[in-house]
Amino acid sequence: MIEPDCPSVYDAFAASAARWSGRDMLNVLPETAGIYGIEAGAMRYGAALDEVARLADRLAEAGYGKGHRVMVLLENRPAFFLWFLALNRIGASIVPVNPDLRAAELAYMAGHAEPVLAVALPGRVEELRQAAKAAGVVMPVVAPGDALPAPRAGGALAGGEGVRAEAAMLYTSGTTGQPKGCVLPNEYFLMAGRWYAEAGGLCALSEDGERMITPLPIFHMNAMAYSLMAMIAVGGCLTALDRFHPRTWWQSVRESGATCLHYLGVMPSMLMGLPESGDERAHGVRFGFGAGVDPKLHGAFEARFGFPLVEAWAMTETGAGAVICANTLPRRVGESCLGQPGPELEIRIVDDAGQDTGGAPGELLVRHAGDDPKRGFFAEYYKNPEATDEAWAGGWFHTGDIVRQEADGAMFFVDRKKNVIRRSGENIAAVEVESVLMRHPRVRAAAVAAVPDAVRGDEVFACLVVDDPAPELAEEIVGWCLTQLAYYKAPGYVAFVEALPLTATQKIQRGELKAMAAQLVEDKATVDLRHMKKRNAA
């Protein structure tokens, strides 16, 4: 268990390593090892502690320490966690990099976060160097085994002390076009670990040697804050896959010895689409923890595979300061039920005027109960105090999610208020994609909306105004986008239109755009380019 007075992520890890030195901490399966070209097998807590100390000493000897930010691009490899812990030990902050990001996105991150160093896979070092150059930032880029250059003078930017010190800055999409940098203090991670370890009910964890498997990106808060910190809290072992492989998933679950797993809604849908086999229940999983399961498949999945899918709600910004989880009885399977708010959480459900809806669906506002309503939340949007203040207007965090609540307190997800496209668990800001599309020389105007996708939840639909439209041009534009954006952000559909729906002040009418996209997705003239959206497409 993470003690109440624990000051940092590293200290929580070190305490667990001292108690459970001989237990497995990080596990790599043969399939993942083969894909990454690394060694399969488990690293024990004691060995991890030694490696973290070695990395921390290297960093400190080179001059890195309190207040420095370091970008880290290491995919879903266990080395990522070791660098995170080593940086935390010396008081530095990690800026995780989604490996699917491309030139424009990497340059934005480098310029915005102003890191003093980047650690990247050898094949991505030069790309990050070019990003730093484009951003005008002095940021040396090294591979994990390279010698460390000294940090630039005046490079310490992150602030705070103890639990309030910055541990990480994660980027999340919003409605402003560019991703926002969420500053996450030590307290954020410590509370996430405690919350999970103490949640109980259907997702109860013991200190007897839990083993968790996740295919989710470890540069997101789910795996970084909840998966890692929960296992540290109870002395458990985390198996992180490179990504979700439906056809080998159950084999991976068995090989890992998993007692619990994490999922996103796309995963149950894919697994239910596979032919039934005799070994689907040959596992030791007690529960799955995640969000977004298709209500129509929820009960059928549990009946087929033999364990509950525990739905939960949280955001990068809220952490464990505001989390809702359907881990108690009675259950509401197949109803998009998020569970009931616990005593540590205060909520409001409001209409567009900010008034309580009286039972009707509305936007969810949250805050932590007690004297500190922001406890466990992100500290701020970096360099964006206006957005931070707007999110906390009136002393409540405005989630942008539409929910409803029944008389017994049970809460149900309805829709998203924000103009964010959510594809396979990734948030995509329409404005960000539009700004990239507008840089293409053939595009005169661009607007992007979400259309439903049976597997991925949403898909990116682009309405473009161009001269001389043709299917070949659509393919050219999307191919170009794949060099500028993560593959999942590029348009999956392109429709050439004569004009966009605009207001009198020339702003996109989002409601009309969404309706237009819903109609055009069935139009024979719309170009379906989803086949181009693959990792490493550029």
> What does the pLDDT read at residue 505?
57
> What does the pLDDT read at residue 427?
79
> What does the pLDDT read at residue 269?
86
Count of alpha carbons within 13 angstroms of residue 20, beta-carbon side: 21
CB 205 within 8 A of CB 26: no
Chain-centre distance of CA 405, in angstroms?
Answer: 26
Supply φ then ψ for residue 103, to 5 degrees: -50, -55
What amino acid is encoded at 287 in this protein?
A: F
Domain spanning 9-402, CATH class: alpha beta
Count of alpha carbons within 13 angstroms of residue 156, beta-carbon side: 11
**Core vs surface per residue 95-121: b (16+ CB within 10 A) or e:** bbbbbbbbebbbbbbbebbbbbbbbbb
- End-to-end C-alpha distance for the chain, whole angstroms: 44
| pLDDT tens, per residue, the chain with 538 residues | 899 999 999 999 999 999 999 999 999 999 999 999 999 999 999 999 999 999 999 999 999 999 999 999 999 999 999 999 999 999 999 999 999 999 999 999 999 999 999 999 999 999 999 999 999 999 999 999 999 999 999 999 988 999 999 999 999 864 446 889 999 999 999 999 999 999 999 999 999 999 999 999 999 999 999 999 999 999 999 999 999 999 999 999 999 999 999 999 889 988 998 999 988 999 999 999 999 888 889 999 999 999 999 999 999 999 999 999 999 999 999 999 999 999 999 999 999 899 999 988 999 999 999 999 999 999 999 999 999 999 999 999 999 998 999 999 999 988 777 677 889 888 787 888 988 898 899 999 999 999 999 889 999 999 999 999 999 999 999 999 999 999 999 999 999 999 999 866 567 888 899 999 999 999 999 999 999 998 864 4
The rounded distance, in Å, linking the Cα atoms of 116 and 154 is: 9
Q: CA 94 → CA 69, 99, 119, 183, 395, distances in Å?
A: 6, 15, 10, 10, 29
Fold of 421-532: GMP Synthetase; Chain A, domain 3 (3.30.300)
Strand partners, 119: 72, 142
> What does the pLDDT read at residue 538?
44
Strands, sheet with 411-416, edge to edge from the N-terminal-most edge strand: 337-339, 411-416, 397-405, 362-368, 345-350
Element (H, E) at 301: helix 295-305
> What does the pLDDT read at residue 420?
76
> What does the pLDDT read at residue 343?
94
The rounded distance, in Å, linking the Cα atoms of 449 and 457 is: 13
Query: What residue spans define the domains of the chain?
Result: 9-402, 421-532
> What does the pLDDT read at residue 266?
82
What amino acid is encoded at 3 in this protein?
A: E
CB 463 within 8 A of CB 447: yes
Helix (H), strand (E), coil (C) string for 493-536: EEEECCCCCECCCCCECHHHHHHHHHHHCCCCCCEECHHHCCCC
Supply φ then ψ for residue 530, to 5 degrees: -60, -30
